[in-house]
Amino acid sequence: MTALTPADTALLGRAFAQVKAGENTAADATLADLSLAARGHPDALMVTALARKATGDMPAALRLFKAATHSAPKHPAIWNSYANCLDELGDHDAAIVAYRRALAIDPQASASWINLALAAVAAKRWDDAAAAATRALALVPTDRRALTAAAMVAEGRGDLNEAVVAYSGALAVAPGDAVVRHNLAAVLRRQGQIEAALALVGPDAPVQSRLLRANLLADTGEFNAAIDTYHSVLSVRPADLPTLAALAELLPQLGQADAALSAYHAALASAAAPDLWRAAIGAAKGIDAHATALAWARRAEAAHGHHSDWTLAAVDALSRLGNDAAALALAHPLAADAPSAAAETMLAWLLLKAGDAGAAEPHALAASRLQPLGQTPWALLTLIWRLLRDQREAWLADYDRLVIASEILPPPGWSSLAGFLGDLTETLTKRHLTLAAPADQSLRGGTQTRGDLFATTDPVLLGLQASLVNSVEAGLASLVPDTAHPFLGRLAAGVTMAGSWSVRLRAQGFHISHIHHKGWLSSAFYVGVPPEINAGSEAGTLRFGVPDAALGLDLSPRRIVTPSPGRLVIFPSYFWHGTAPFESAAPRLTVAFDALPRQ
């Protein structure tokens, strides 16, 4: 390798500084002044690669980095920079390999250990990430990036307490770091430490943290302030999808359903990306604004061309609007020309709604093969096989065996279940702050808590979670695995919560018949039950096997369970279930959760 001349060395130093300063045009001009002999030098290749990367020309950057590593395979800075480029492109596994090449040459390079940890976090390779973060902290125990990497590892592994410690350490080192402040607040929110989180993202928070602040304000019941903060984000970023979704979800719960789509209307007035159309259509469907959803599906297709997403949205909206003939006319060719689980499920739904269970069956079966962990195809098959008097209904939907009711034990620290339920009632009641239920949920005449109920440090709720998990795992232990079965085939040694919430129903409140799309196992736990709900009446009972009313199928319940305080009912997430309304001055208070098999 020919040594660089002093002049070329100076030019490379200047170009590198210009790249770091964002002066890309100047950097290109400086690099153009290099001698021909210097341009193939590894350092020149690396700086040129960095310049190309800074302008967004990633293919050229990768090509130059590869040439540099071939020319100087023992140069750790080149391997580290190459790895950074791979990581930015989303090729985290390749980046990990390159970072390790750098560290094999210079194991004391703390920056490379930190970068390796962050790449492993992005790849969800938690053991690799933890090992790299540990090495980084051993070298630079008070480094902000090293502490942040350790916090991200802890957060990814679910150790929120350790994540708080590490993020707090990073914030102590760099109190002005808005990203660390945001991340710490987000973890505190996951723990239910809302006030502590709010203190970190105040009214003057940067725009990237205002959505978090708005969510925190809504969590505390400061709804007007939350709405104002959502709008402050949208004034700067009118197409910000998480903010649009959060605002559209909150407004119906405050009795402002008519305003729920206003921000979407405003955002769609400009050239809208496909993901914005998808989000807007989903929000319209969620509040039963099916005419709007249909109009937006057609506008999205006009703007972005034919896509199955627009067709599926139009089919669903047409069916909900009662135009099943038009829906079927679109659904048949979609399933034939672009078969997918969604298209096959939609066609099966429409055919079942039309009263043709036999025609619906092959499409529901096709959907179950395309998406074996999906719940909707199996839910449709419970109805199809019932209507066809097919014995497979009993295999798929054995309500007597798979609906399991039990009474939980009080958690440690409580001597009686009644005493625990009293404390739990007080805790849950404080969390029911809205006026109405989320528009896209199953309950009518009641409220639902925000967020994940068990994302908390509250000892009452954590005690409940532990008791529920124990009861679930004890109930599942009696079942016999069946590899062909969508529920029994996934039995495992334990379960992992996949979402939890509380519902408070008032008089005449009920749940429409529904399934849980994101679960494997679903549940109802009864905390407070009005005296009018008892074994001598069907009022307020939990009913299985009655389909969504939109299907128009007059089917009676396959099983009815009467609620009682302390009773837990678990069942496969694809089981149709709903409740009968009740009359009482007292509310019906429940906790529900979905669970997945623990891997």
Predicted confidence at residue 442, as pLDDT, reads 80
Residue-level pLDDT at 509: 84
Contact assessment for residue 15 and residue 30, using Cβ atoms and an 8 Å cutoff: yes
* Gap between the Cα atoms of 91 and 119, Å rounded: 9
User: Would 284 be classed as within a structural domain?
Assistant: no
Q: Which of 360, 395, 430 is the last residue of a domain?
A: 395
Residue 506 contacts residue 429 (beta carbons within 8 Å): no
Q: Are residues 183 and 321 in the same domain?
A: no
Output the six-digit token pair for 110: 């703390």
Q: How high is the pLDDT of residue 351?
A: 98
State pLDDT tens for residues 132-188: 999 999 999 999 999 999 999 999 998 999 999 999 999 999 999 999 999 999 999
CB atoms within 10 A of CB 139: 15
Q: Do 229 and 297 have their domain in common? A: no
Distance of CA 433 to the CA centre of its chain: 23
Assess whether 149 and 227 both reside in one domain.
Answer: yes
Residue 249 lies in a domain: no
Q: Please check whether residue 179 lies inside any domain of the structure.
A: yes
Residue 261 lies in a domain: no
Q: In the prediction, which pLDDT does 1 show?
A: 63
Output the pLDDT for position 77: 94
Residue 598's closest CA among 464, 441, 490?
Answer: 490
Give, rounded to a whole angstrom, the gap between the first and last alpha carbons of the chain: 52
Number of neighbours of residue 343 by Cβ within 10 angstroms: 25
What pLDDT, on the 0 to 100 scale, is given for residue 441? 77
Question: Does residue 117 have a pLDDT over 80?
Answer: yes
Give the pLDDT confidence score for residue 569 in this predicted structure: 98
Give residue-wise pLDDT tens across range 221-259.
999 999 999 999 999 999 999 999 999 999 999 989 889
CB atoms within 10 A of CB 227: 19
Pairing relationship of beta strands 588-597 and 495-511 according to DSSP bridges: antiparallel
* 283 within some domain: no
Measured CA to CA, the distance from residue 348 to residue 340 in angstroms comes to: 12
Q: Examine residue 276 and state whether it is found in any structural domain, yes or no.
A: no
**Can you give the pTM of this predicted structure?**
0.86
- DSSP characters over 246-298: HHHHHHHHTT-GGGTTHHHHHHHTS---HHHHHHHHHHHHHTT-HHHHHHHHH
Alpha carbon distances (Å) from 142 to 115, 136, 349, 533: 16, 10, 58, 59
Range of the domain at 308: 292-395
Dist CA 517 CA 374 (whole Å): 7
Q: What's the CATH code of the domain at 75?
A: 1.25.40.10
Question: Are residues 579 and 487 both part of a single domain?
Answer: yes
d(CA 346, CA 376): 10
Same domain, yes or no, for 115 and 203? yes
**Residues 372 and 406 both lie in one domain:** no
**Last-in-domain residue among 363, 395, 427:** 395
Statement to judge: residues 445 and 514 lie in one domain: yes
17, pLDDT greater than 90? yes
Q: What is the pLDDT of residue 242?
A: 96
Do residues 156 and 121 make contact, with C-beta atoms less than 8 angstroms apart? yes
- Mean pLDDT of the region 440-459: 86
What's the CA gap between 126 and 156, in Å, rounded?
Answer: 7
524 and 549 both lie in a single domain = yes
Average pLDDT over residues 76-84: 95
Query: In this predicted model, what pLDDT tens digit does every residue of 340-383 receive, in sequence order?
Result: 999 999 999 999 999 999 999 999 999 999 999 999 999 999 99
Q: Which residues contact 598 (CB under 8 A, 6 or more apart)?
A: 492, 493, 494, 495, 496
Of 233, 249, 269, which residue is a domain's last? 233
Instruction: Look at residue 287 in the predicted model and tell me its pLDDT.
Output: 92
Q: Count CB-CB contacts under 10 A for residue 258.
A: 11
- Mention every residue, 6+ apart, whose C-beta is less than 8 A from residue 537: none
Average pLDDT over residues 54-83: 93
- Residue 495 φ then ψ, to 5°: -130, 160
Is residue 578 helix, strand or coil? strand
CATH number, position 519: 2.60.120.620
Q: Is residue 557 part of a domain?
A: yes
Determine, yes or no, domain membership for 531.
yes
CA distance 465 to 449: 16
Contact of 246 with 215, CB cutoff 8 Å: yes
Other CB atoms within 10 Å distance of the CB of residue 292: 19
User: Residue 526: what residue type?
Assistant: Y
Count of structural domains within the chain: 3
> Is the domain of 592 the same as that of 454?
yes
Are 353 and 296 part of one and the same domain?
A: yes
Same domain, 485 and 549: yes
Output DSSP code: residue 514.
B
Q: What is the arithmetic mean of pLDDT over 98-127?
A: 97
Same domain, 343 and 428: no
522: β partners: 571, 594
> Phi and psi of 295, rounded to 5°?
-60, -40
